Structure 1
Amino acid sequence: MSFSTPTLQLKISEVAQRLRLLTQINLQLHWQIINPGESDHPVEINEKGHIPWAAGKQVLKLRQKIIVPRELQGYPLTGLTLRLVLSWWAQDAQIYINNQFVQAGDLFDSYTRILLSSSVQPGDEFEIELSLISPGHDRGALVNSCCWYELSDSSKIDPSFLADELEILGIFLASENHQPDLETDLTSLGKILDIISGYILPKVPRTRGVWGGQNLTEFENSLTQVRQILKSVIPKLDTYKISLLGHAHLDLAWLWPITETWIVAQKTFESVLQLQTDFPELIFCHSSPILYEWIEKHRPDLFSQIQDNIQKGIWEIAAGLWVEPELNIINGESIVRQVLYGQRYVLEKMGQLSTVAWLPDTFGFCWQLPQIFQQGGIDYFITQKLRWNDTNKFPYGLFEWQGLDGTKIISFMTALIGERVDPVKIFKYALEWKTQTGLNQSLWLPGVGDHGGGPTRDMLEITRRWNQSAIFPEFKFQKVKDYLIEVLNNAPAPLPIWRDELYLEFHRGCYTTHADQKRFNRRGETLLYEAELFATIATLYSGSIYPQQEIETAWKQILLNQFHDILPGTAITEVYQQANQDWETAIKTAEEILHQSFDAIVASISVNFPSQPDAQPIFIFNSLNWSRSEVVAVPIPNSDSCWQIYDYQGIPQTAQTRGERSEKPQLLFLAKNVPSLGYQVYWLGRKQAETLEISQKYPYMGKPIPNYTESIAEKNEVVKYYQLEPKNISFENDILRVIVDTETGNLEQVFDLINQRNILQLGQGNQLQVFADSGQYWDGWNINPNYQEYPLDLPQLESIEWIESGPIVWRLRIIKRLNQSEFCQDYILEQGSPQLKIETTVNWQERHTLIKVAFPLTITADFASYEIPCGVIQRPTNPKNPPSPLPPVYGGFPEGKAKWEVPAIHWADISTPDYGISILNDSKYGYDAQSDQLRLTLLRGSTWPDPEADLGWHQFSYAVYPHGGDWKQAKTVQKGYEFNRPLQVKVYPPISSTANLESSSCQSFLELGSDHLILMAFKQSETKSKQWILRCYECQGEETRLELQNNLGLTIDYSVNILEQPQETTVSISAWKIVSFALTSRDS
């Protein structure tokens, strides 16, 4: 008989199942439904064996009486331990035994083993009642209910325990890891299994009673013989090492508000500390410094105990980031701050840096993380989330992840989190792990999770019980860092290398859901960058006090809201009520710091006195590290006079009035060549002569477009418009001609006047495409993969009207309606701009609906380029399946079949070597591309977990940017930053005519000396008030040099990493590198 034949495996499975029947009773069919005022009635079981009931927080009450029998299948039960085992899918579960409340649970704490008696006697009775509430979004279910009788006498063999051991053996024999040298022992095992079967299910029917005397002794002897044979397998199974690490995944907010999280954290940490007293072998791991900080402030006694256990080595800090954030759509500096603030806290409070980036639940990982982690003192990256992929199984368990710049980090794909101690499941995972990695040592993470909880007493008791098994590998608690050191010493060399982003093939809706959070995030990141920048300049230039504490507080508010269930839009309504307050507080703080800094800088600047009496100085500030020109809006003090813009030499500038009859009129003009990280002064004064009223010059402004008008153009206007035919209207500047279809409101054509080519397929530009997006369990997270099969009617045009008509800004308003939703879109062309901006206001009222804006192009390419944090990535436009098997050094799934919706920061681009088109955005993150089309995802309409998600008003802008060459030659990276960080305008009171001022009307405070560098931060050092940190990254994928010039008296002391620790100094910067420098003043 061959041990590997299906016959033996089937026999093992059958005997194991029969052994369990000796001590386990399924209770599912015996429940009665309690209906007030009515008699109880039996439950109904579905095809899965579950007891289901309706969704929508509906209550199900059940009860049954358990009476202990004398025997099960003849096996005596007297003196055994009895446990009630339950599992459920319910928002709330209340368990009562003999009318006494004993335990509660929820969607995450959804399994229990309740001790009913440590020594039962026949006839013992237990009255069980359950009160269960279904989830709001899903049907509820009592998944499993049974009684387990267990032997407490370790000298005897528990039938169910042996059944589990047999099942493990069967799994081992069926695996690819078994050894073909056990045939003799396994043949004997087969014979003894036949004997056991004879006792459990005799071939000749007879009256059954309690086994006793010789029958029971013979049965127990046969179990002992099985155990002896199983011991011969120990050399085989004992080569497997199973490490355990207690864990309690705790989402800072999700289906509960943050205020509840603080309470849950306390309870979780209290529970773990008590269990570590009772079970000294327990080692526990937790992340999120923000939680530790809260505990430190509100429960210093608890925090002190945690610190003690850290010192004892039984509490591991895996807290390399402030929270476990979203890591696709936050910008590079946000990721840096997550690491900086997280590591600074654990170093100060726990005396050590965390070498682990513990990110089990984040929804995908951008390609620059290896570099950022390495610079933050992190050696290991850990997740399990890619096990959720819906298309391609992620191929590696232990690998090197190589980032965009070439930095590598050891990466570990753990087992699933939130698991019980189930030895059969654990051993299956151990075999899978060996098949995947070649390693015999696996790591399991027991502990109730999502809503905290952690390891339970029952889990630890099961662990101890299984450590007495004669065949099962020993469970050993171990820190994840120690585990990784061990397995890396034994891992086959070299480790496989992954050269790509870690794209989660799931949760693609998270780039779009809850658009308000995306807009807040973009705005917050931008303002904090600018507040820090100009606060630093103000401190150095004018002697202001740097507001470090205010800036850190604002940053931490934003970092919290970047948590992976807040920013993605996948939490309940209450979470966003608090989050929005925090966003607004952080943004208000940044705005106040920014404007205070402007005032301090301006107070230290001398400018030429203007020739125009009572003129007011206009300071135009540039927060980017290159000179740029841009149309700006200047508020006019009042509308009873005509006003003029003058440059610092007194030359009048062409200007345009906006909102002349409104309470807040403005003048628009083109601010030219505002220097890098500096300012330029213009003047607001009165006109010398009156000109025609706007309504006389532009009779169609603010009025519906007629079916046909004569050509209207002024000889010297920079921006012109033409009505070509009844169907189309055209307007242009020196760079672009825009033609709008007046029947649809779509772009008929955008013509590049410089390169003499049309960029759009005729009549289809800026088409709002609508699709049904339903049927996904993870509603807020997932876009229906087949959404394109369910197109809906397009929004219908309601009106077109001119709002502004040059000579500085041309604005044509299109209003469309979709059911109860209204879209107001302004096509905006500005003097000197190579972009057509589309400013959008939406009143969104759709549910389970996805809307995208499409730009079918006149060029084709196999790849599209997308901005990611501190970098650019190419993704295929024609997705296909990946190769199989994968080579050991692999650049991701290059055909990208699953990448049909992808994240990007400021832009996406399709280019050929000589021409391309970029789509810029100011607060959107989801794109998709075909070889000749780019689409930007605008809004969704999910209803779970937040039924109000995205309902109401939205404002956002995007732009079409056609260009010669590819995105590098077109400086699309810089254009994306300009689109998101416009020039800042500050108007100050008139200067006294007696002032004797020296000229300083235009200056750059700081220049980096390379077109390839993007400034990320210019800030005060975290530890040295006289030291300043400058951080930037290389944005073109080519080597460059920093050539720092400034008028702030600063020199480079040395290079630093993102933790601001000294490094070897170099100003040569390789491709995609993030670099930081410590600067000091020559006078300090």
Structure 2
Amino acid sequence: MNYPTPPTHSQSLSDKIEQLRSHCQINILPSWVCWRGDLEITDVMQSNFLHWQPIQLNDKQQVVWNQGKHILWLGQKFTVPDSLYDYPLSGLCARLSLTWWADAVEVYLNGNLLSTGDLFDCSPRLLLSQGVKSKDEFFIVLRLVSPEHCDGALMHSQMIFESGIGDDIDPGLIANELAIAQTRGKNLSSTEWNRLVTEIEELMNFSCGIKTQADWKSLLEKIRQTYLRIDQLTSIKNNKLFLLGHAHLDLAWLWPVQETWRAAQNTFESVLKLQTEFSELIFCHTTPALYAWMEEHQSWLFTQIQTQVKLGKWEVLGGFWVEPDLNLISGESIVRQLLYGQLYFLEKFGKISPIVWVPDTFGFCGTLPGFLNQAGIEFFVTQKLRWNDTSQFDYDLFWWQSPDGSQILSYMSPPIGETIDPVKMTDYLSTWESKTGLANALWLPGVGDHGGGPTRDMLELARRWKNSPIFPETEFSTAENYCQYLKSSVAILPAKLPVWQDELYLQFHRGCYTTHADQKRWNRQCENLLYQAELFSTLATAIYGLPYPKTELETAWKKVLFHQFHDILPGSSITQVYQDALPEWQEVQQLGSTLLDRSLRAIACNINLPEPPQPDSIPVIIFNSLNWERSEVVKIKPPHAQHWLIHDLDGNQLPYQITRDGLLFIPTIPSIGYQIYWLSPGDVDENKCGQESYLEFCLENEYLLVRVNVQTGDLESVFDKIQLREVLKGAGNQLQAFADKGQYWDAWNIDPDYQSKPLPPAKLQSIEWLEKGIIQQRLRVVRQIGKSQFTQDYVLQTNCPILKIENSVNWQEDQVLVKTSFLLNLHSDIATYEIPCGVIHRPTHPHTPSQRAKWEVPALKWADLTADTNTGNYGVSLLNDCKYGYDIKGNEMRLTLLRSPHWPDPQADRGEHQFNYALYPHTGSWQAAETVRRAYNFNIPLNVLLNPETKKSPSPVFKNNSFLALTADNLIITAFKVSENDPQSFILRFYECHGESSNLPTLNLKSEFFTLGNPLDLLERNILPTVNPIAPWKISTFQVLTQER
């Protein structure tokens, strides 16, 4: 005969805990009646809703109704019984505990609105009565709206009766204390634990027949004494939980930005009101952009916040202008997030934040500590890596080190959006102590995502549990105080903290590198545009006295920074967010273009022109915004239809090519400077027009011979003519489409199994030559994937070892992922990817779970695979102008081009797209091949002014027209601007890009203009003199001094 397994003592104690809870808690989930469709609450109360249809629970014992904003009404009448299993209820508080998954919820008590909620404020404990009497009746009605993308659900409905007196006890309190004891008692000896459980069981057996509150209280006190005698359980009072009110507020997500302002106002008003009653409450909030809006539109509220900050009751956190995505933005964008954020805090609240607080950002680039160290940041805090889908992140407290050697104390905070749950809090504390050796932990009570913050119930629970003898000490404090506690504790820990020298990769939300490609393109273009507009505006101010457009540039930058928020730029918001974002991006583009054009024309007005080669020649001034000489193809559009020639300053005619939409030639422009050319009328040269027909679909220049497959449109060969080797070992630029369905977080997540769901290959529709001249060859391939058309131009230019692929796509797929693939004729265990102001190396043959989880990774402008060969290093770089998702496995290099998720924006990515990428085979390492410079060139074209107004005086003409250059080749200038603190001072920022030390550069060429001054941090404050040489990957900022010309 098979006998049942006897319960363990832990199971037995769990049974007793549930028995105690049954004396004060009632599951009312099966008792709801329902009405499907909308009603007015007055009609509900007048129509005797108790005659509605009884609810049917699903197999998970939940109330479920259809997705798509469908409305479900639930109602029930609850009558307070005399007692629950002999525990009298009279005089106790009555609370309704609910948990739902619904887009919007209204809770009515006796016909009056009691509370509202949504997807985020979804687990309230609502006070129905401060002291019930037997036979009291509560008419409870819920109006629930299902989410657009998934079914709605009511998962939990419970009536709770508890003591309303802080020191008083009830069965629920003792049950929770026993649950805490159960967790804390895991290390007790079996003898001691068995004795405890036996005593509790014996006492519980005496509960039968007890009828009065006084007798119950006596019994509960006896039960409590059984575990209070055990030092290992009561020693929890030696631990402390620091509490900090919190309300994560996404600036946009499932709601538009305008709703965020209302949510912020409601949250802040609620917190300030609660602080008048609960003087212990300290609250924190990030996002200077949000405070700036509040200052402008609700100044009375902003003033109150300033007062609370001074009193130490409100902590401004974060440092960044918003909580941005930190995989997809440039290094200079990270700088501006910190610069504008910290300076705003300093101006409005008297101090900068020492903490970067980014609990919800989707991963963090490995160079971030180098930025934070230079912006007054001492601590990095997130909790997002708890969302990993493959392997748990190893550390809760660690030093994070960037490639330049910068370290920052980093802390994996508790989850956000939590309540005061004593069992969960003590479990977290125990886990924290076991992992770190530290006795004190932080807890963040408060409703979040859509704002909300701490509730009255949370604060009352905090007060009640503060008095429990088996609950840790609690104290409201600030994040800064807690982080300083961590810092001081690190010095006395017996073991050194681990040092993490890698990115903080989130094993989740990999689709965010690609979704809403329009946002990625706008962001990249605006970052590049503002760099140029600021650079040339500064030069025009410093050299020629043009008024500096500080306000306009700051306005433009802050719009870009705002839309780098971690639910806007990643593409994970609703349709309206992107409809609202479009005019903001367009405004930045218009403003940046105007400022750039104005500054270039101001410089042009001070340029002396030589005598033209012909009286009717037109000057062309070409500007280079990058700090190295560039010689590359530009296109100009002559003013009217006739034949034109191009001459240099000495009157020499240059090679050119006429195309359908302009004239191509190759100028040479110095570092951050300009050069003058002449456009002159002339006779057409048939050899330079390149209009003849070519039947063979091969592109060729002095570097590459490229052959296109006439059946597929793929590259079938890319031959390196210099090294005499084939670059490909299979198809190149093969468009690969996959079904990408089944993910709840549709916009965020790529189906992990997408590789097993390939769709039919792209169908070639046409292939034709558009250009084949002495400057440029252009071969157009048109292909079809499903309902979508890809128009791709293979472009090969003279004197250039790069094959460009220019794309125009009409994308009309649903839940499809498309990549471009290059099978390379080389192998390496490591691939290199650009990240903000640096690179990261990732394995191409992953071995560990955490490595295998990186099957889709972020990068900025390029990725590279370089192999050691018998004849030296050889590699291939894949450049892009607005894409971010890569994967390189073995010898296959892929770039993710487009996705088409349904939720939360069913229109995401459908429509027209323009983007470019390029294949760059090279000899030697990516450093020797100057991949970084090639990628910058690919993203930031030369600027052309045709026939601008220039200086008419007969002054000498300079042939070396560089305003600014650095003597070191491995330094990239990322900003040249007017100082935030001194309008007469200028700021130059650059970073080391090759991982090699560099001598401190000098500014050469136009040395009569500029010299390097003091080194500064990213907030433009003086720091100790920079060590020479500059460390690899170091970001450096200097004051620039001007001299009379």
- Shorter chain as denominator, the TM-score bin is over 0.9
CA displacement at 1:505 relative to structure 2: 0.7
Say if 2:604 and 2:948, in contact at 8 Å, map to a contact too: no
| 1:595-633 CA-partner distances (Å, limit 9, x unpaired) | 101101011011211121211111111111011100000
Say if 2:1002 and 2:1012, in contact at 8 Å, map to a contact too: no
Give the match for residue 165 of structure 1.
177
Identify which of 219, 227, 232 aligns with 2:224. Answer: 227
Give the match for residue 32 of structure 1.
33
d(CA) in 1 for partners of 2:391, 2:810:
38
Give the match for residue 666 of structure 1.
662
Identify which of 905, 914, 929 aligns with 2:888. Answer: 929
Say if 2:285 and 2:316, in contact at 8 Å, map to a contact too: yes
- SS at 1:961's partner residue? strand
- SS at 2:778's partner residue? strand
Identify which of 918, 938, 944 aligns with 2:877. Answer: 918
d(CA) in 1 for partners of 2:523, 2:326:
13
**Amino acid in structure 2 at the alignment position of 1:677:** I
Give the match for residue 648 of structure 1.
649
Q: Does 2:941 align with 1:982?
A: yes
Identify which of 112, 115, 134 aligns with 2:124. Answer: 112
| 1:249-268 CA-partner distances (Å, limit 9, x unpaired) | 00001111111111111111
Give the match for residue 714 of structure 1.
none
CA displacement at 1:650 relative to structure 2: 0.7
| 1:788-812 CA-partner distances (Å, limit 9, x unpaired) | 0100011100001111111111000
Give the match for residue 810 of structure 2.
843
d(CA) in 1 for partners of 2:862, 2:148:
37
Give the match for residue 255 of structure 2.
256
Say if 1:179 and 1:236, in contact at 8 Å, map to a contact too: no
d(CA) in 2 for partners of 1:730, 1:103:
70
**Amino acid in structure 1 at the alignment position of 2:975:** A
Say if 2:1002 and 2:1011, in contact at 8 Å, map to a contact too: no
**Amino acid in structure 1 at the alignment position of 2:867:** T
| 1:279-316 CA-partner distances (Å, limit 9, x unpaired) | 11111111101111111111222111111111111111
Say if 1:606 and 1:1001, in contact at 8 Å, map to a contact too: no
Q: Could you tell which deviates more after superposition, 464-473 or 625-634? A: 464-473
Say if 1:644 and 1:685, in contact at 8 Å, map to a contact too: yes
Q: Does 2:507 align with 1:528?
A: no
Q: Does 2:908 align with 1:973?
A: no
**Amino acid in structure 2 at the alignment position of 1:518:** K
**Amino acid in structure 1 at the alignment position of 2:1009:** G
Judged with a 3 Å threshold, the aligned counterparts in structure 2 of structure 1 residues 7 and 658 are, in CA distance, closer, same or farther, namely same
Which residues in structure 2 correspond to 1:803-842 (within 5 Å)? 803-842=770-809
CA displacement at 1:7 relative to structure 2: 3.3
- SS at 1:1026's partner residue? coil
d(CA) in 2 for partners of 1:196, 1:802:
91
Give the match for residue 853 of structure 2.
898
d(CA) in 1 for partners of 2:765, 2:9:
74
Give the match for residue 352 of structure 1.
351
What is the aligned residue count? 1017
Q: Does 2:483 align with 1:477?
A: no
Uncovered stretches (5+) of structure 1, i.e. residues with no partner: 203-209, 660-664, 710-722, 724-728, 883-892
- SS at 1:1007's partner residue? coil
Which residues in structure 2 correspond to 1:653-802 (within 5 Å)? 653-659=654-660, 665-672=661-668, 674-687=669-682, 689-692=683-686, 698-700=691-693, 709=695, 723=696, 729-762=697-730, 764-802=731-769
| 1:886-928 CA-partner distances (Å, limit 9, x unpaired) | xxxxxxx5xx111110011110000013100000000000000
Say if 2:238 and 2:473, in contact at 8 Å, map to a contact too: no
d(CA) in 1 for partners of 2:96, 2:948:
79
d(CA) in 2 for partners of 1:505, 1:309:
38
d(CA) in 1 for partners of 2:194, 2:707:
84
Q: Does 2:901 align with 1:908?
A: no
Judged with a 3 Å threshold, the aligned counterparts in structure 2 of structure 1 residues 523 and 155 are, in CA distance, closer, same or farther, namely closer
Judged with a 3 Å threshold, the aligned counterparts in structure 2 of structure 1 residues 1030 and 575 are, in CA distance, closer, same or farther, namely same
Identify which of 175, 184, 194 aligns with 2:201. Answer: 194
Judged with a 3 Å threshold, the aligned counterparts in structure 2 of structure 1 residues 250 and 153 are, in CA distance, closer, same or farther, namely closer
**Amino acid in structure 1 at the alignment position of 2:625:** S
CA displacement at 1:75 relative to structure 2: 1.5
| 1:144-178 CA-partner distances (Å, limit 9, x unpaired) | 1111111235565301110000011011123xxx3
Uncovered stretches (5+) of structure 2, i.e. residues with no partner: 1-5, 38-46
CA displacement at 1:671 relative to structure 2: 1.2
d(CA) in 1 for partners of 2:73, 2:930:
65
Identify which of 952, 960, 966 aligns with 1:1008. Answer: 966
Say if 1:608 and 1:1000, in contact at 8 Å, map to a contact too: no
d(CA) in 2 for partners of 1:6, 1:274:
50
- SS at 2:275's partner residue? helix
Which residues in structure 2 correspond to 1:76-95 (within 5 Å)? 76-95=88-107
d(CA) in 2 for partners of 1:67, 1:626:
81
Identify which of 892, 895, 917 aligns with 1:958. Answer: 917
d(CA) in 2 for partners of 1:156, 1:776:
48
Which residues in structure 2 correspond to 1:385-424 (within 5 Å)? 385-424=384-423
Say if 1:908 and 1:919, in contact at 8 Å, map to a contact too: yes
d(CA) in 2 for partners of 1:256, 1:222:
51
Say if 1:90 and 1:141, in contact at 8 Å, map to a contact too: yes
d(CA) in 2 for partners of 1:824, 1:630:
24
Q: Which 4+ residue blocks in structure 1 deviate beyond 6 angstroms?
A: none
CA displacement at 1:197 relative to structure 2: 3.3
d(CA) in 2 for partners of 1:623, 1:155:
70
d(CA) in 2 for partners of 1:442, 1:733:
64
Percent identical among aligned pairs is 48
- SS at 1:427's partner residue? helix
**Amino acid in structure 1 at the alignment position of 2:538:** T
Identify which of 627, 634, 637 aligns with 1:635. Answer: 637
Say if 2:28 and 2:159, in contact at 8 Å, map to a contact too: yes
Which residues in structure 2 correspond to 1:323-722 (within 5 Å)? 323-491=322-490, 492=493, 493-639=495-641, 641-659=642-660, 665-672=661-668, 674-687=669-682, 689-692=683-686, 698-700=691-693, 709=695
**Amino acid in structure 2 at the alignment position of 1:466:** W
| 1:54-81 CA-partner distances (Å, limit 9, x unpaired) | 1111111111110111111122112221
| 1:1-47 CA-partner distances (Å, limit 9, x unpaired) | xxxx9833222211110011111100010001125799522212223
d(CA) in 2 for partners of 1:271, 1:349:
22
Judged with a 3 Å threshold, the aligned counterparts in structure 2 of structure 1 residues 999 and 382 are, in CA distance, closer, same or farther, namely same
CA displacement at 1:982 relative to structure 2: 1.2
- SS at 1:611's partner residue? coil
- SS at 2:8's partner residue? helix
- SS at 1:766's partner residue? strand
**Amino acid in structure 2 at the alignment position of 1:1058:** L
d(CA) in 1 for partners of 2:474, 2:600:
62
CA displacement at 1:396 relative to structure 2: 0.5
Which residues in structure 2 correspond to 1:242-281 (within 5 Å)? 242-281=241-280
d(CA) in 1 for partners of 2:914, 2:879:
15
d(CA) in 2 for partners of 1:285, 1:684:
62
Q: Does 2:67 align with 1:55?
A: yes
**Amino acid in structure 1 at the alignment position of 2:753:** N
CA displacement at 1:194 relative to structure 2: 2.0
Q: Could you tell which deviates more after superposition, 537-546 or 1022-1031? A: 537-546
Give the match for residue 873 of structure 1.
840
**Amino acid in structure 1 at the alignment position of 2:393:** F
d(CA) in 2 for partners of 1:392, 1:644:
63
CA displacement at 1:122 relative to structure 2: 1.5
CA displacement at 1:1083 relative to structure 2: 4.1
d(CA) in 2 for partners of 1:950, 1:309:
44
| 1:191-231 CA-partner distances (Å, limit 9, x unpaired) | 4322343245x6xxxxxxx8436xx7655433211112222
Judged with a 3 Å threshold, the aligned counterparts in structure 2 of structure 1 residues 694 and 610 are, in CA distance, closer, same or farther, namely closer
Say if 1:441 and 1:487, in contact at 8 Å, map to a contact too: no
